[in-house]
Chain A
Amino acid sequence: MLSALDRRHTVAPPGYSRWLIPPAALAIHLCIGQVYATSVYKNSLIAHFDTGQTAIGVIFSIAIVMLGLSAAVAGTWVEANGPRKAMFVSACFWAAGFLVGALGIASKQLWLLYLGYGVLGGIGLGIGYISPVSTLIKWFPDRPGLATGLAIMGFGGGAMVASPLSRQLLSFYDSGYDPSNSGSTASGSALVWLFVTLGIGYFVVMMFGVVNVRVPAADWRPAGFDPARVAAKPLVTTANVSAANAVRTRSFWLLWVVLFCNVTAGIGILEQASPMIQDFFREGGTSAVSVAAAGGFVGLLSLFNMAGRFVWSSTSDVIGRKPIYVVYLGVGMVLYLLLALVGQTATALFVLLACVILSFYGGGFATVPAYLRDLFGTFEVGAIHGRLLTAWSAAGVAGPLIVNAFLDAQGEPGTLTAAAYRPALFTMVGVLAVGLVANLLIRPVPQRFHEPAAGRDEVADGQPVAAERSGS
């Protein structure tokens, strides 16, 4: 049965619509994006296990670290076995993570929650995140930014689906739980049923992706597409570089720095969004922004984070990958400066600046697969993407560390004002400047790293076939 999942059995027949691939990818990313909605039941888990913030918060950290590690380690396996098997394995790990986690909650064994949601779920996250990327790039050689932007937009959208859904499910399973009251916590049995429901529900939705995903035949090209025209753009190669060789190139590590800097800066705001808007408009110890309004601000940031993934990544197909990162990083520096210097003058200005910054954060995630395609070709772009995602794991630690370290030095939470954020925001301007310089230093990959003609061929139906290219 599992052989039906192999790459050679998933080659699309003639006439297969490539527009079935983005919803297949979205089915995966909308589910695994749930990882950013764990805060919804965090307090309930703390109460159930009678433990502290850190003991529960570490579940999320384990999952994100496992995301980076599994994407890096399993990237080559994903390339070799194809998107259908990768999506299926991802769905199994992701669902198993919830079910083992539910067992941990039911038996009050916290380590089972770490093992389930953190380790197993984290592996599902990493494999699921990269599973559709190279397939989308191969189906949309004419618009790779749009295709990967659509899929990775789903990851941002996943949290927007999971947050309200989890609140409503907890209310359904525990009538005493009031999601509008931040002090209310759900019972252990409600948490167990939430995890079971999410595990089964996500598995079913992810199967939509498994059933619909196909790889294009090796000689397939979209109607009217001329690879030579794409290759004529600066930095875009028609050659192919293996994942093993890619990590030996300067461009790979420069792009690693670019992603790390962009994510570090964005995640700093994202992690601190709710208290930040209240602190910026605090006078005489009282904030003009209510807790509910701050929650609305976080929701607005989620929308811009998601929209930026699609809009900016699609724009990169028109203006090019390097220029769009100049925008993310260069304009981002200006926006951070404005936020630090004049952000406290008006709520609307503060919200506008933060929303555009978060759209750049999302855009940075969504554009990077297309940037990798431009630099290294399509041969093992999924595996290279997996290795690059270690920058995300590192930034996930660095961003909050930088912001929290500066804020801790400025005073107690609830007493901070806009001035307390300036050192952290100025530091982020510096971080973005480093990323900007790294982006400007990116050059085409030297020919010595290119695969020879036989090596860059792709395998379909078990036979080597000519890769999708037009000479050079």
Chain B
Amino acid sequence: MNERVGGGQRVRLVVSWLVVAVLLGYGVVQTLITAAKLFTQ
């Protein structure tokens, strides 16, 4: 990341990636819980 990142833009970066991380994280965790049944049953 070589671009100059100002304060407002930094907030926007954090919020954007946070939204994506929360959504993806929820999906991955839920899928892992389901996938665990492959090894536990």
Which chain A positions have C-beta within 8 A of B41?
290, 292-293, 296
Instruction: Output the least CB separation between A266 and chain B (Å).
Output: 18
Q: Are B20 and A299 in contact (CB under 8 A)?
A: no
Q: Are A299 and B34 in contact (CB under 8 A)?
A: yes
The smallest beta-carbon distance between A419 and chain B, in angstroms, is 23
- The one of B3, B17, B20, B30 in contact with A18, judged by C-beta atoms closer than 8 angstroms, is B3
Chain A residues whose CB sits within 8 angstroms of the CB of B16 once the complex forms: 20, 23-24, 27, 208, 212
List of B residues within 8 angstroms of A17 by Cβ = 1, 3, 5, 9, 13
In the assembled complex, the Cα of A292 lies from the Cα of B6 at a distance in Å of 49
A302 within 8 A of B: yes
The distance in angstroms between the C-alpha atoms of A30 and B19, with both chains bound, is 11
A163 to B9, CA, bound (A): 33
CB atoms of B9 and A20 under 8 A apart: yes
CB of A460 within 8 A of chain B? no
Instruction: Give the number of residues in B that approach A within 8 Å (Cβ atoms).
Output: 28
Interface flag for A111 (CB, 8 Å): no
- CB contact between A300 and one of B1, B19, B38 (< 8 Å): that residue: B38
Inter-chain contact B30/A160, CB cutoff 8 Å: yes
| Main DSSP-derived SS at the B contact region | helix
Q: Which B residues are CB-close (under 8 A) to A27?
A: 16, 19-20
Name A26's closest neighbour in chain B (CB-CB).
B20
Nearest residue, chain B, Cβ from A162: B27
Which chain B residues lie closer than 8 Å to A18 at the CB level? Answer: 3
B37 to chain A: which residues have CB within 8 Å?
Answer: 292-293, 295-296
Question: Which B1-41 residues have a C-beta within 8 angstroms of A?
Answer: 1-6, 9, 12-13, 16-17, 19-20, 23-24, 26-28, 30-32, 34-39, 41
Of the residues B5, B6, B28, B39, contact of A303 by C-beta under 8 Å? B28
How far, in angstroms, from A107 to B21 measured CA to CA in the complex?
37
Indicate if A318 sits at the interface (CB-CB under 8 A).
no
Which residues of A sit under 8 angstroms from B13, Cβ to Cβ?
17, 19-20
Interface: A323 (CB within 8 A): no
Which residues of B lie under 8 Å from residue A26 when comparing CB positions? 20, 24
Chain A residues closer than 8 Å to B19, beta-carbon distance: 23, 27, 205, 208
Residues of chain A with a CB closer than 8 A to B28's CB: 157, 160, 303
Residues of B near A160 (CB, < 8 A) are: 24, 27-28, 30-31
Chain B residues lying within 8 Å of A157, measured Cβ to Cβ, are 23-24, 27-28
Note all chain A residues with C-beta closer than 8 A to B20: 23, 26-27, 30, 154
Q: Across the interface, which residues of A come within 8 angstroms of B24, CB to CB?
A: 26, 30, 154, 157, 160-161
Hey, which chain B residues are within 8 Å of A297, CB to CB?
A: 35, 38
The reply on A462 being an interface residue by CB < 8 A is: no
CA distance A298 to B37 in the complex (A): 11
Nearest B residue (CB) for A301: B35
The listed residue with most A CB atoms (<10 A of its CB), out of B5, B16, B32, is: B16
What would 25 A/B residue contacts be, using CB atoms closer than 8 Å? A15-B4, A19-B3, A19-B17, A20-B9, A20-B12, A26-B24, A154-B24, A157-B23, A160-B31, A161-B26, A164-B34, A205-B23, A212-B12, A212-B16, A223-B2, A293-B38, A295-B37, A296-B35, A296-B36, A297-B35, A299-B31, A299-B32, A299-B35, A299-B38, A303-B28
Interface residues of B (CB under 8 A from A): 1-6, 9, 12-13, 16-17, 19-20, 23-24, 26-28, 30-32, 34-39, 41
Interface residues of A (CB under 8 A from B): 15-20, 23-24, 26-27, 30, 154, 157-158, 160-161, 163-165, 205, 208, 212, 222-224, 290, 292-300, 302-303, 351
Known contacts A20-B9, A160-B27; can you find 5 more A-B pairs with CB under 8 A? A164-B27, A205-B23, A294-B38, A295-B34, A296-B39
Q: Which 6 A-B pairs have the closest CB atoms?
A: A296-B38, A160-B27, A223-B2, A164-B30, A296-B37, A23-B16
